[in-house]
């Protein structure tokens, strides 16, 4: 059998040289084709077992069985960590184990699990001060990010965009602070109320009253309270505005704001409806404007990362020759024509004109008028059929039908052709033909 591959120099941990058989075996296992896939399956199984634990009855039979599985999973991760340390070394040279942040995450998870197991008493109960170490097991699903390229690309994009997100977050907090200060000036001391709605001040809110709600005549004590969310200081104003920006429960805050009267005076229904303008402006600035900025930032970062990956992709001479040959073909020229802005604008104009023709139909129209519209629809059907044929020739039959919109275009064109050939089924395909311009506008 072939000998295990020789790991790269330098020496690992000053003990395992490149020619050391143990290190060569570890290197062979780490670089094995199915090693990462096996570890990924173990991570998935460990995550499922973690989600299946009973958080209430910690000593249940199910948790006892899952604890044995946890021993197995921790053993596999420990074995992975050890052989990678032997193969890559610890920290002194490039490519060593602790110079990779993902390896540091693996190390923290494994060591935390080992310490938690070591300090568990014989009865299987965790010591309270060490039990929190087992919480590190929730980090295990993050191990999948390194092993799946697409997930790693998304994570790298998030990390890359953190700098810009942080700058936008500062501006976000500044605007939030400004709105919080304005809210304090508008609503401070005005979110108080008496449990007896007939009383408006704290001085009047004394004694007892009869509650007639829910068909119960119940005697209750009057209490002077303040709503859970208020604007009596900047800190609470920030918290209230953040709650409003989430879109959950904010109508109640809006109602309290429009019912305000004076400081330390109870509410009056709809007393200050103009206060709703404050929330309209706030929603325009925060939930709409800033959220779209964050989304646009992530999209731009994804595009930049994709362009960077394309620029870093090196092509061999043969590959470049194949590409140069491909772009010189007739199909490429046809594709260039179909994908050109002039072609798209021409199709868009035809869609608009076809829509106008469809709008010109009316009940009891003259025969000559209907004949003209019929010929116009036939002409548009021919033009759209030519568009469909050109796209099939440019993209190829298989690539054309991979796009759902192209499939819909093909079906509507086919239905329009059938309508021309057989007027008896005009009602069947009329709806498809009427929807055709709208769908093409959306697609373009």
**pLDDT digit string, tens, across residues 173-215:** 888 999 999 999 999 989 999 988 888 888 888 888 887 776 6
Among 249, 246, 244, 247, residue whose Cα is nearest residue 231: 244
CA-CA distance, 264 to 416, in Å (whole number)?
A: 72
Residue 120 pLDDT: 66
Judged against a pLDDT cut of 70, whether residue 415 lies above it is answered with yes
110 or 444: whose pLDDT is higher? 110
CA-CA distance, 210 to 222, in Å (whole number)?
A: 10
> What are the backbone dihedrals phi and psi of residue 32, each rounded to the nearest 5 degrees, phi first?
-65, 150
Q: Which domains does the chain have, with CATH numbers?
A: 21-146 (1.20.120.350), 148-191+231-313 (no CATH), 192-226 (no CATH), 330-443 (1.20.120.350)
Residue 323 pLDDT: 58
Q: By CB neighbour count within 10 A (0-12 exposed, 13-18 middle, 19+ buried), where does 125 fall?
A: exposed
Among 126, 124, 131, 81, residue whose Cα is nearest residue 102: 81
Cβ-contact 224, 205 below 8 angstroms = yes
CA-CA distance, 412 to 406, in Å (whole number)?
A: 10
pLDDT in tens, 320-363: 566 555 655 777 788 888 888 888 888 888 888 888 888 888 87
Ranges 52-61, 145-154, 294-303: which has the least confidence: 145-154
Cβ-contact 271, 259 below 8 angstroms = yes
In the numeric block, the tokens 């074995």 are attached to 79
Cβ-contact 168, 293 below 8 angstroms = yes
Whole-number percent of the chain with pLDDT over 70:
79
Residue 220 pLDDT: 85
For the record, the structure tokens of 426 come out as 């005009």
CA-CA distance, 405 to 130, in Å (whole number)?
A: 58
Ranges 2-16, 102-116, 413-427: which has the least confidence: 413-427
Whole-number percent of the chain with pLDDT over 90:
6
Residue 180 pLDDT: 92
155 or 430: whose pLDDT is higher? 155
Residue 409 CA, distance from chain mean position: 30
Residue 181 pLDDT: 92
> What are the backbone dihedrals phi and psi of residue 226, each rounded to the nearest 5 degrees, phi first?
-125, 140
425 or 365: whose pLDDT is higher? 365
- CA atoms within a 13 Å half-sphere pointing along the CA-CB vector of 95: 9
CA-CA distance, 436 to 416, in Å (whole number)?
A: 10
With both helix axes pointing from N to C terminus, report the angle between 61-88 and 101-118 in degrees, rounded to the nearest 10.
130
Residue 177 pLDDT: 92
Ranges 99-103, 113-117, 129-133, 171-175: which has the least confidence: 129-133
pLDDT-derived band at 88, boundaries 50, 70, 90: confident
Average pLDDT over residues 290-297: 80
384 or 139: whose pLDDT is higher? 384
Judged against a pLDDT cut of 80, whether residue 145 lies above it is answered with no
Asked if residue 10 has a cis previous peptide bond (ω within 30° of 0), the answer is yes
> What are the backbone dihedrals phi and psi of residue 120, each rounded to the nearest 5 degrees, phi first?
-90, 135
Average confidence score pLDDT of the chain? 78
């Amino acid at each position: 059998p072939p000998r295990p591959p020789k790991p790269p120099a330098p020496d690992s941990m000053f003990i395992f040289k490149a020619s050391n058989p143990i290190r060569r075996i570890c290197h062979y296992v780490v670089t094995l084709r199915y090693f990462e896939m096996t570890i990924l399956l173990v991570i998935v199984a460990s995550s499922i077992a973690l989600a299946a634990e009973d958080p209430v009855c910690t000593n249940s039979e199910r948790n006892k069985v899952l604890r044995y599985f946890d021993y197995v999973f921790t053993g596999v991760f420990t074995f992975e960590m050890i052989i990678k340390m032997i193969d890559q070394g610890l920290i002194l040279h490039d490519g060593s184990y602790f110079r990779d942040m993902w390896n540091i995450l693996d190390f923290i998870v494994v060591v935390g699990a080992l310490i938690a197991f070591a300090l568990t008493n014989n009865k299987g109960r965790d010591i309270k001060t060490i039990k929190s170490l087992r919480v590190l097991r929730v980090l295990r699903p993050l191990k999948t990010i390194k092993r799946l390229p697409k997930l790693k690309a998304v994570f790298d994009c998030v990390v890359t965009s953190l700098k810009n997100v942080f700058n936008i977050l500062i501006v976000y907090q500044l605007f939030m602070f400004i709105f919080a200060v304005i809210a304090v000036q508008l609503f401070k001391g005005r979110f108080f109320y008496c449990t007896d709605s007939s009383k408006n001040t704290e001085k009047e809110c004394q004694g007892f009253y009869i509650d007639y709600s829910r068909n119960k005549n119940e005697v209750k004590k009057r209490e002077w309270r303040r709503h859970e969310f208020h604007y009596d200081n900047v800190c609470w104003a920030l918290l209230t505005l953040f709650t409003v920006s989430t879109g959950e429960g904010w109508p109640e805050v809006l109602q309290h704001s429009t019912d305000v009267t004076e400081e330390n005076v109870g509410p009056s229904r709809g007393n200050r409806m103009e206060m709703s303008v404050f929330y309209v402006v706030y929603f325009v600035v925060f939930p709409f404007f800033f959220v779209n900025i964050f989304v646009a930032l992530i999209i731009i970062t994804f595009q930049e990362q994709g362009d960077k990956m394309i620029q870093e992709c090196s092509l061999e001479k043969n590959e470049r020759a194949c590409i140069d040959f491909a772009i010189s073909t007739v199909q490429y020229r046809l594709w260039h024509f179909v994908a050109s802005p002039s072609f798209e604008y021409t199709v868009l104009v035809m869609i608009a004109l076809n829509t106008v023709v469809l709008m010109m139909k009316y009940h009891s129209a003259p025969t000559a008028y209907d004949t003209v519209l019929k010929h116009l629809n036939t002409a548009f059907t021919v033009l759209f059929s030519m568009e469909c044929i050109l796209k099939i020739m440019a993209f190829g039959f298989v690539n054309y039908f991979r796009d759902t919109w192209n499939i819909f275009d093909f079906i509507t064109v086919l239905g329009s052709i059938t309508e021309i050939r057989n007027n008896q089924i005009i009602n069947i395909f009329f709806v498809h033909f009427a929807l055709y311009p709208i769908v093409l506008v959306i697609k373009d």
